[in-house]
Amino acid sequence: MEHNSNFIRNIIKDDLASGKRKHVITRFPPEPNGYLHIGHAKSIVINFDLADEFNGKTNLRFDDTNPLKEDSEYVHAIKEDVQWLGYDWDGLFFASDYFQEMYERAVLLIKKGKAYVDDLTQEEIRAYRGTLTEPGKDSPYRGRSIEENLDLFERMKKGEFGNGEKVLRAKIDMNSPNINLRDPVIYRISHATHHNTGDQWCIYPMYSFAHPLEDAIEDVTHSICTTEFEDQRPLYNWIVEECEMESKPQQIEFGRLNITNAVMSKRKLKQLVDEGFVDGWDDPRMPTISGLRRRGYTPEAIRAFVRETGISKGSGVVDSQMLDHFVREDLKLKAPRTMGVVRPLKVVITNYPEGQTEMLEAEINPENPEMGSRQIPFSREIYIEQEDFMEDPPKKYFRLFPGNEVRLKHAYFIKCEDFVKDENGNVVEIHCTYDIETKSGSGFTGRKVKGTLHWVDASQAVPAEFRLYEPLLVSEDPTELEAESTEPEVEKSFLDQVNPNSLQILQGFVEPNMKDASPQDKFQFFRHGYFSVDPKHTTENKLVFNLVVSLKSSFKL
Ligand code: ATP
Ligand code: MG
């Protein structure tokens, strides 16, 4: 993968230098048929960054030409996501606002003899189209007169025909080696209520006809899309030309972003939502912008990640750990450090005076001293992690076991003297002694210990729920997950990849100074990782933390 290369920037530079363009307008054109995902973030960053670099403009345009799949819920969510990513659009447009103009351009094509109404069914059109090795065959309706076509198209618009009874096709070349030019369908009948235009229209333009017109109407100069549209570029240019659009946008393709363990098609993501595999589009396991936001990823991290993946013609697969790297980088200095115990085990410090509590001082973020310090209570009973005690440890286990001494972060050394089991043989309580000489910050050098544990004072601990995540899909290979097919077994295999252990919910405790944490606040829990307060499940009485990323990473840029 090429890093940071940007051939699109070079095209724009040349266009401005040669005078081909006087200004730059880009657009981000989502179809409002689902929530945005991280692949869309790439398109957003590319379009807005380029316009920014050349003092241009970027429109947010909803490509809403398919009434059956689109909804204003998605329009709202998409706007929110783009803004959250840190971008302000110049123009806000809906393709459906151009339906009248598109209709008129289609009429113009008919008048020029460049479009005709066809009565073939969808299947017949497909059969007549030919293949890569065989030329197409003319429809028997291809020779209709201009007058007849004008009349039929008008009647299509008036609603005289049912869905699929007729289509309008561009009249280009049934022998073209480019199948996209073999008289593509440009209008179809669909008696459906549109989220924006209601029942005003019953004919709708096809994407490949609508998109170039939308770009031209908005005077977009560089229409950036993904490489699956490369073969459509000649059709794009044909439509701009033959519809006599004044403005001549240029389509430029780049490779899609794919990341490991994730599907990136709205259709599949919708399936995960609709079939209840996740708790909505913003489930923290989803690769959607709203899911990443809820999980605790930051716009800064997403933008840095997307920029690092570079722009090239090829579509590589990017390791999701690269995104994790950037969120760690972003939160390192911003997130307060704290302690939380996710699987609590009680420790009684038997030689610590009963009823006494002392306040220990700790820096909020040692890497960012400006964040100041915090107070942590310490008393006779604390919680540690269950995994930080073993009755019978293996070699190189430096945490608590009978007779061993460890350091409690920000506090004292404690030594395990004894432990208590319940009737099932589970260890439920540890008894330790502490050494008052070893207080953190006292400069004690008498002896060393190998383990340092995090802990929370039991008497003041705030109960908290921890939600730990693993990838939602077990297969790393997105091409396998994305495989587009109508064969039912392929669909099945995608859902077969859903990881049954992708969410683990644990009840633990956090430091008392965190009781007022607000949704989306982010913290680094010592020895665990970065967590963010969940906006959906957190209530006045219950703090819920989502694991953003663990601290450890094997990933190197
Ligand atoms: P999906 O298959 O997820 O529905 P789409 O391409 O149909 O994606 P649109 O709403 O049409 O979704 O996309 C808006 C813009 O985002 C388009 O310009 C599209 O090329 C771009 N885009 C979508 N997915 C990716 C991706 N994975 N990487 C880069 N750009 C993407
Ligand atoms: Mg789409």
Q: Which of 532, 475, 441, 21 is nearest to 260 (CA)?
A: 475
Pairing of strands 413-421, 373-379: unpaired
Measured in Å, residue 37 CA sits from the centre of ligand 1 at 9
Q: If you search the block for the tokens 């009349």, which residue do you land on?
A: 151
- Helices in 112-190 by DSSP H: which ranges? 122-128, 146-158
Q: Please tell me the predicted confidence (pLDDT) of residue 316.
A: 80
Ligand 1 touching residue 42 (CB < 6 A):
yes
SS3 of 45-74: HHHHHHHHHCCCEEEEEECCCCCCCCCHHH
The per-residue pLDDT for range 105-149, each reduced to its tens digit, is 999 999 999 999 999 999 999 999 999 999 999 999 999 999 999
The per-residue pLDDT for range 290-300, each reduced to its tens digit, is 999 999 999 99
Instruction: Determine the 3-state secondary structure of 25 from DSSP.
Output: strand
What's the CA gap between 217 and 321, in Å, rounded?
A: 41
* Residues within 5 Å of ion ligand 2, judged at the Cβ atom: 31
DSSP structure string for 194-229? BTTTBTS-SEEE-HHHHHHHHHHHTT-SEEEEEGGG
What's the CA gap between 126 and 129, in Å, rounded?
A: 5
Q: What's the N-to-C CA distance of the chain in angstroms?
A: 12
Does 166 have pLDDT greater than 80? yes
Q: Please tell me the predicted confidence (pLDDT) of residue 5.
A: 62
CA-closest residue to ligand 1 atom 16: 40
Give the bridge partners for 187, in sequence order: 168, 205
Does 554 have pLDDT greater than 80? no
- Nearest atom (ligand 1) to Cα of 34: 4
Measured in Å, residue 37 CA sits from the centre of ligand 2 at 12
Ligand 1 touching residue 227 (CB < 6 A):
no
- Nearest atom (ligand 1) to Cα of 264: 3
Q: Which range, of 4-13, 388-397, 453-462, averages the lowest pLDDT? A: 4-13
Measured in Å, residue 223 CA sits from the centre of ligand 1 at 13
CA-closest residue to ligand 1 atom 12: 30
The per-residue pLDDT for range 328-358, each reduced to its tens digit, is 999 999 999 999 999 999 999 999 999 999 9
The per-residue pLDDT for range 403-448, each reduced to its tens digit, is 999 999 999 999 999 999 999 999 999 999 999 999 999 999 999 9
Ligand 1 touching residue 291 (CB < 6 A):
no
Let me know how long the chain is.
Answer: 557
Does 266 have pLDDT greater than 80? yes
Task: Provide the CA 364 distance to its chain's centre, in angstroms.
Answer: 30
Contact between residue 483 and residue 490 where contact means Cβ atoms under 8 Å apart: yes
Q: According to the per-residue pLDDT averaged within each range, which of 151-155, 491-495, 552-556 is highest?
A: 151-155
Q: Which range, of 145-149, 238-242, 514-518, averages the lowest pLDDT? A: 514-518
What's the CA gap between 48 and 60, in Å, rounded?
A: 10
Q: Which residues contact 84 (CB under 8 A, 6 or more apart)?
A: 289, 293, 299
Q: Which domains does the chain possess?
A: 7-256 (3.40.50.620), 261-295+315-339+460-551 (2.40.240.10), 343-454 (2.40.240.10)
**Which of 28, 211, 226 has most ligand 1 atoms within 8 Å of CB, for mutation?**
226
493 pLDDT band, cuts 50/70/90, is low
Q: Residue 437 has which token pair?
A: 């000489």
- Nearest atom (ligand 1) to Cα of 44: 16
pTM value is 0.94
